[in-house]
Amino acid sequence: AQKITQTQPGMFVQEKEAVTLDCTYDTSDQSYGLFWYKQPSSGEMIFLIYQGSYDEQNATEGRYSLNFQKARKSANLVISASQLGDSAMYFCAMREANTGNQFYFGTGTSLTVIP
Amino acid sequence: ETGVTQTPRHLVMGMTNKKSLKCEQHLGHNAMYWYKQSAKKPLELMFVYSLEERVENNSVPSRFSPECPNSSHLFLHLHTLQPEDSALYLCASSRDRVSGNQPQHFGDGTRLSIL
């Protein structure tokens, strides 16, 4: 079974608007971490934001916030005030403690910001 | 400047060639990883090194041979590759293998094309 599911292969957003990228995960572990990465066309994977399974508050990093709904096993990324430079692939990832902290990645969502 | 440097950025090789990919991290991390990224598929973890010792090999064909001479350098030696091995190869590092809240930091990747 897929550990990380990203159901939106492509998304479009108007510049300065907010956008939500979906991510659901599958784990039976109580201790895990959720990560979002951005991959521009240059190839580099850039770490954006982290949410721990025991964190009670949603993580925020500048214009990025993570909408963590533990019971639904979802960890959606919200980008506020989109900029043209936000156009990239976005990957959700999970790290489980019971599998030696191996990272599992989703298939990604391609975001295009329209001027 | 990502802290993780991969060379070369692009590589075209024939199926009978031998080449090596190089990764260097300047972050003082103890764990390093090789991933394969193919179109429309999740990142595939290939190898994990912790303190220069290989701790994971995810059923990778023997035509891929990793080497970790020290905690800052990681190589992937390639020999007799197949066309389906064409992909983006990403190197990553993390502080260690066990800290669940620590992200992996990635290089820009090597885009490999097998003729």
Walking along chain A (115 residues) 10 residues at a time, the average pLDDT comes out as 90 97 94 94 92 94 97 97 97 85 88 97
Q: Examine the pLDDT at B51 and tell me if it is beyond 80.
A: yes
Q: Which residue of B has its CA nearest to A51?
A: B101
Residue B100 has pLDDT above 90, yes or no: no
B98 touches chain A (CB under 8 A): yes
Strand segments (E) across A3-99: 4-5, 10-14, 19-21, 24-25, 32-39, 46-52, 60-61, 64-69, 74-79, 88-96
Q: Is the pLDDT of residue B57 over 80?
A: no
Q: Which amino acid is at B106?
A: F
How many angstroms separate the CA of residue B29 from the nearest CA in chain A?
15
Instruction: Say if strands B10-13 and B110-114 run parallel, antiparallel, or are unpaired.
Output: parallel
pLDDT of residue B78: 95
- Tell me if A44 and B2 make a contact (CB, 8 A cut-off): yes
Q: In angstroms, what CA-CA distances link B78 with B15, B31, B50, B110?
A: 10, 21, 21, 13
Tell me whether A42 touches chain B (CB under 8 Å). Answer: yes
A50:B111 CB<8 A: no
Structure tokens at B30: 């103890």
Residue written as tokens 């939500």?
A20
Flag whether pLDDT at B23 surpasses 90: yes
Residue B44 and residue B34: Cα distance in Å, rounded?
Answer: 9
pLDDT bucket at B1, cuts 50 / 70 / 90: low
For β-strands A88-96 and B18-25, DSSP reports them as unpaired
Residues on chain A touching B113 (C-beta within 8 angstroms): none
**Looking at chain A from residue 81 to 100, which residues have their Cβ under 8 Å from any Cβ of chain B?**
91, 95, 97, 100
Q: Which residues of A touch B104 (CB under 8 A)?
A: 45, 47, 103
pLDDT, tens digit, for every residue of B58-99?
Answer: 789 999 999 999 989 999 999 999 999 999 999 999 988 777
